[in-house]
Structure 1
Amino acid sequence: MLPVIAIAGLACETSTFSPARTLAPAFHPRRGQAVIDQYAFLHPDTPLGQAADWRGILTGHALPGGIVARDAFEALADEIVVGLRDLLDATTRMIHGLWFDIHGAMCVEGLDDAEFELLRRIRTVLGPDVLVSASMDLHGNVSRPLVHQTDLITCYRMAPHEDELETKERACRRLVELLTTRESLPRESASSGRLPRPLKAWVPIPILLPGEQTSTRIEPAKSLYAAVSQVEAETGILDAAVWVGYAWADEPRNHAAVVVTGWDAAAVTAGAERLARQFWACHADFHFVAPTGSLAECLDTALKAPESKRPFFISDSGDNPTAGGAGDVTWSLTQLLARPEFQQENEEEEGAKRNCPQVIYASLPGPQAVQTAVAAGIGATVTVSAGAEVDDLHAGPITMTGTVYAIKHGDRDALTEVVLQVGSVFVILTQLRKPYHHERDFTELNLQPRASDIVVVKIGYLEPELYAMAADWILALTPGGVDQDLQRLGHRRIRRPMWPFDRDFTAEPDLSARMIPPSCDLDSEIVI
């Protein structure tokens, strides 16, 4: 008989410094077979798909954003709990494992440590004996209670997250291996009859940095994450993981962490402490993944760049929708359109073509502006206002007059997209916010980023396709819900001291490994 493994989880990277709220539809919940269909490594024709009886309950992956509404969390969490109860009834109470498919930085109104709370509720249905394997983003937050409730917990090892699917497959594969091999291991004791559970060593590290300073493309994160696989290769270790943590939320669990899992207590402890010490040893060496500057400085640099450095990409980092920004901050677009260099269209005038740099700006939500442009049609001149419907803390709505250049319907995130040409700037307006990470995001709007002079994208570090397109790149330190200047955001609840909020540590932090009780010991004390 194959082991029965349920799949459930909610994922949303959440900025508590954004005024946005995330509602239930944003999670695009999948249920039943649709949960399995989204992961090719679980399909019936794969070795892993054939190794277990996989049962999808509910998974939801929302675009990063503002705090999750409590009623949204409660509705989705209740559905997961009910689904697990139904599965238990259908399988005569035989669920062997759970893959907990999460991000790890979800904040919910009125809750701290939302992923732990969700798993706690799941455990009340499944009981203590079901094995739980969790996969996370390395920008998730790993509290002691969350580690306690899991048996295996791992995370990505690359930023950008090119190994996302590899990590999720690893979490599932190790769960299957554990379920199928621990039968041969000695019982914990003759009286309990319980099968053994892996040992877990957790080390909290007082560091909280943005992802743009901890990219694995550069040092010191490159070497730090290279050491993870070295520790994992040690005898007696099943998995090793390092979390950077999520810097744009304000909860006590927000900090870096290490977890090492395995069968040998000495190896697990030594591996966790080795990674924690290496992380702390380089805490002052982290720096931005690209040159930085104010938006004005970034535009000046881009304009002076030679032809060989174009397209020149600028990251509008403070309102990055894939880090939790609301996506509708107008501050940068207002500054961009005010620049005289971009206020004339490239057109013939008295026999000479104007030399106006072509700029693409992605993007700004403006449902009413999109509706007006769609009604007017391609080629029409319209005056519209957009932005600042959610985040008006830094600038108000922006009013623009331009030509409707392109219209596209049916996008999963944006729903409808419009390109408005204002001078030599091609502004992408969306019905709902959308990240722009792929070349097709532009070309499907009849935009050619490779042929443009400047591309301004609401993003932090460039995702792989953008990185490959960029002849040069600079990161603009702009305001928003995911401001790179952490000190000006106003954290109040994180544990102190914490680097870089505190730079004068009176003593070295305690980087000793904390051995976490097994998840089957649900009555053990939980210390946050």
Structure 2
Amino acid sequence: MSSRATPLPRVAIVGIAIESSTFSPHRAGLADFVVRRGTELLDYYPFLTPGQPLRERAEWVPLMQARSIPGGAVRAETYQQLERATLDLLAAHGPFDGVFFDIHGAMSVEAQTDAEGGLATRVREVVGPTAMVSASMDLHGNVTRQLLDAVDLITCYRMAPHEDAMESRERSVRNLLDRLDSGRRPHQAWVPVPVLLPGEKTSTRVEPASRIYAEVPKVEALDGVLDAAIWVGYAWADEPRCRAAVVVTGDDPELASQQAERLARAYWQARAEFSFVAPAGTLDECLAEALASPARPFVLSDSGDNPTAGGAADVTWTLARLLAHPAFATGELTGVYAAIPDAAGARAAAAAGVAADVSITVGARVDDRHQGPVTLTGTVAHVSTTDPVAGTVAVVAVGGLRVIVTERRKPYHTAEDFSHTGIDPAQADIVVVKIGYLEPYLYELAADWRLLLTPGGVDQDLLRLGHNDIQRPMFPFDPDMPDPDLTAVVVPPRDRRTPGLVPSQER
């Protein structure tokens, strides 16, 4: 029992999270989401497990959080089902003092243009004006005025790759609990920045993002500031909200505005400095460099179909060319291709069994715009039916190339990911993975690496994708655009808003 003089605040946990490419033909359904409720949801956050200080500061009501690996837009009926379940749970278990709103920020839903803003608005309608809502987001999310109007606190990751994902969620929760204790609602100074770049050009491992993001904790440390955040925005959705943004949250609106504008200017002024996090080129160029290099393993990032950015993951364009390459066909080089999802192919290879000779056709079941299905004629090298994400996994050896075929979409970015394949990537000459910038395991594994500029739903060449609905002018689509107005819009605390005035009209 708590020794506090007042009861612990009741805090709900809800959210729907996916990163969605509107340029991918994939559509996310219920099967793509992992839905956590109750104790499973609470224990998903290491900082809220039993014995952790934040666990003891509130009465937690972990209602529901649905999370999917990135993909295409969410089917309308799937989203409606998840949203309805979220709102019904909030209505049934309230009232609440606070809400931890765990989202991504780049969820696209069929026939919607600001899915998270709409969800936040409806959450607010259910929990009422007095509950304090704290949103945690990916830095590749998008921030709209509708979203800001519905939440009291907002923050995002400060690292790309996202090694601080849980740290950012913990900050969101800590800020929420601190403000529930004090009862003070902060101002939010928001500056949209008309720049839209892929994550592979904005990694915080390299300049200019490294120096720009280094300013964020300095701003947060200022008296009168609670939090500071910079969003890169999501480049592979064609929606008006997609762009970079800065939000500084605090009790001093003038200071928050000054600092938000300073961070926004720094981002805008560096727009032309952003470049790929690694040497990049065509498949032929990068493969030639890999073959000529003594570095092993040499990692090639098949970026256009990256499933953790929203790619369908079954584009066969790169795989077809690797299978045709003489060095792999003859076994002169050993390679790993991770991976191609094809349920029928994976099951057929698994049924044939290890050491069986097979000829299976795989890939391009979802995204066949760039290359049709390919045929793997080789030997089954490994079978697993216990991968919790990929389901059945079959490795087919075709010459020197080991092709991982999975029943379900799965990224291969960690050592654990490869644990169901029977493959040690460190022993291969060439490792091809569907990713953009390398996650920490692959980054450490690679003796050298290249970013392949390949086609797919998350093509790095934004200009050839065909954005029509983003707000123009926008860099790099309009490289000669004039300097924008980077004056902060201050969203006042909810308890200081003018009665009867529509929140989005407040300036």
Number of aligned positions between the proteins: 497
TM superposition shift of 1:410: 2.3
Per the alignment, residue 124 of structure 1 pairs with: 125
Per the alignment, residue 43 of structure 1 pairs with: 49
Question: Which residue of 245, 248, 264 corresponds with 1:260?
Answer: 248
Distance in 2 between the 1:72 and 1:523 partners? Answer: 34
**Is 2:32 the counterpart of 1:26?**
yes
Give per-residue Cα distances to partners, 1:67-89, cap 9 Å, x unaligned. 0001111101101111011112x
Question: Which residue of 357, 376, 380 corresponds with 1:381?
Answer: 357
TM superposition shift of 1:148: 1.4
Asked whether the 8 Å contact 1:235–1:267 carries over to 2, the reply is no
Query: Identity rate of aligned residues, in percent?
Result: 53
Per the alignment, residue 4 of structure 2 pairs with: none
Alignment of 1:224-235 (within 5 A): 224-235=212-223
Secondary structure of 1:465's counterpart equals: helix
Per the alignment, residue 526 of structure 1 pairs with: 504
Distance in 2 between the 1:226 and 1:527 partners? Answer: 33
Question: Which residue of 408, 413, 417 corresponds with 1:441?
Answer: 417
Question: Which residue of 505, 510, 514 corresponds with 2:489?
Answer: 514
TM superposition shift of 1:444: 3.4
TM superposition shift of 1:503: 0.5
Give per-residue Cα distances to partners, 1:411-444, cap 9 Å, x unaligned. 2221111100000000000001100011232243
After TM superposition, the score normalised by the length of structure 1 is 0.93
Question: Which residue of 438, 448, 465 corresponds with 1:489?
Answer: 465
Alignment of 1:42-441 (within 5 A): 42-88=48-94, 93=95, 95-182=96-183, 196-306=184-294, 309-345=295-331, 356-441=332-417
Asked whether the 8 Å contact 1:145–1:527 carries over to 2, the reply is no
Give per-residue Cα distances to partners, 1:360-393, cap 9 Å, x unaligned. 0000011111111111100000000000100011
Secondary structure of 2:20's counterpart equals: coil
Question: Which residue of 3, 17, 20 corresponds with 1:14?
Answer: 20
Distance in 1 between the 2:411 and 2:83 partners? Answer: 27
Distance in 1 between the 2:98 and 2:31 partners? Answer: 28
Secondary structure of 1:21's counterpart equals: coil
Asked whether the 8 Å contact 2:387–2:420 carries over to 1, the reply is no
Asked whether the 8 Å contact 2:149–2:503 carries over to 1, the reply is no
Secondary structure of 2:133's counterpart equals: strand
Root-mean-square deviation (CA), in Å?
A: 1.2
TM superposition shift of 1:527: 6.0
Secondary structure of 2:456's counterpart equals: coil
TM superposition shift of 1:14: 0.2
Secondary structure of 2:166's counterpart equals: helix
Distance in 1 between the 2:197 and 2:362 partners? Answer: 32
Secondary structure of 1:501's counterpart equals: coil
Asked whether the 8 Å contact 1:31–1:57 carries over to 2, the reply is yes
Secondary structure of 2:61's counterpart equals: strand
Residue identity matched to 1:385: T
Asked whether the 8 Å contact 1:65–1:325 carries over to 2, the reply is yes
Secondary structure of 1:200's counterpart equals: strand
Residue identity matched to 2:382: A
Asked whether the 8 Å contact 2:350–2:392 carries over to 1, the reply is no
TM superposition shift of 1:305: 0.5
Asked whether the 8 Å contact 1:33–1:55 carries over to 2, the reply is no
Distance in 2 between the 1:197 and 1:223 partners? Answer: 30
Per the alignment, residue 350 of structure 1 pairs with: none
Asked whether the 8 Å contact 1:65–1:324 carries over to 2, the reply is yes
TM superposition shift of 1:35: 1.2
Give per-residue Cα distances to partners, 1:267-288, cap 9 Å, x unaligned. 1111101100111111110000
Where does structure 2 lack aligned partners over 5 or more consecutive residues?
A: 1-6
Distance in 2 between the 1:336 and 1:387 partners? Answer: 14
Per the alignment, residue 460 of structure 1 pairs with: 436
TM superposition shift of 1:523: 4.6
Asked whether the 8 Å contact 2:121–2:146 carries over to 1, the reply is no
Provide closer, same or farther for how the CA distance between residues 56 and 269 of structure 1 changes in structure 2, counting only shifts above 3 A: same
Asked whether the 8 Å contact 1:144–1:527 carries over to 2, the reply is no
Where does structure 1 lack aligned partners over 5 or more consecutive residues?
A: 183-195, 346-355
Secondary structure of 2:504's counterpart equals: coil
Per the alignment, residue 451 of structure 2 pairs with: 475
TM superposition shift of 1:25: 2.5
Give per-residue Cα distances to partners, 1:134-155, cap 9 Å, x unaligned. 0000000001111111111000
Give per-residue Cα distances to partners, 1:331-352, cap 9 Å, x unaligned. 000011111111124xxxxxxx
Distance in 1 between the 2:39 and 2:266 partners? Answer: 42
Distance in 1 between the 2:494 and 2:198 partners? Answer: 31
Asked whether the 8 Å contact 2:302–2:432 carries over to 1, the reply is yes
Q: Higher mean Cα deviation, 29-38 or 328-337?
A: 29-38
Distance in 2 between the 1:444 and 1:321 partners? Answer: 19
TM superposition shift of 1:445: 1.6
Residue identity matched to 2:489: R
Distance in 2 between the 1:527 and 1:12 partners? Answer: 29
Q: Higher mean Cα deviation, 439-448 or 51-60?
A: 439-448
Secondary structure of 1:479's counterpart equals: coil
TM superposition shift of 1:31: 1.4
Asked whether the 8 Å contact 2:118–2:146 carries over to 1, the reply is no
Asked whether the 8 Å contact 1:35–1:56 carries over to 2, the reply is yes
TM superposition shift of 1:236: 0.1
Distance in 1 between the 2:417 and 2:46 partners? Answer: 24
Residue identity matched to 2:203: S
Asked whether the 8 Å contact 1:213–1:288 carries over to 2, the reply is yes
Asked whether the 8 Å contact 2:320–2:374 carries over to 1, the reply is yes
Give per-residue Cα distances to partners, 1:227-271, cap 9 Å, x unaligned. 001111111000000000000001000000000000011211111
Secondary structure of 2:229's counterpart equals: strand
After TM superposition, the score normalised by the length of structure 2 is 0.96
Question: Which residue of 2, 24, 31 corresponds with 2:8?
Answer: 2
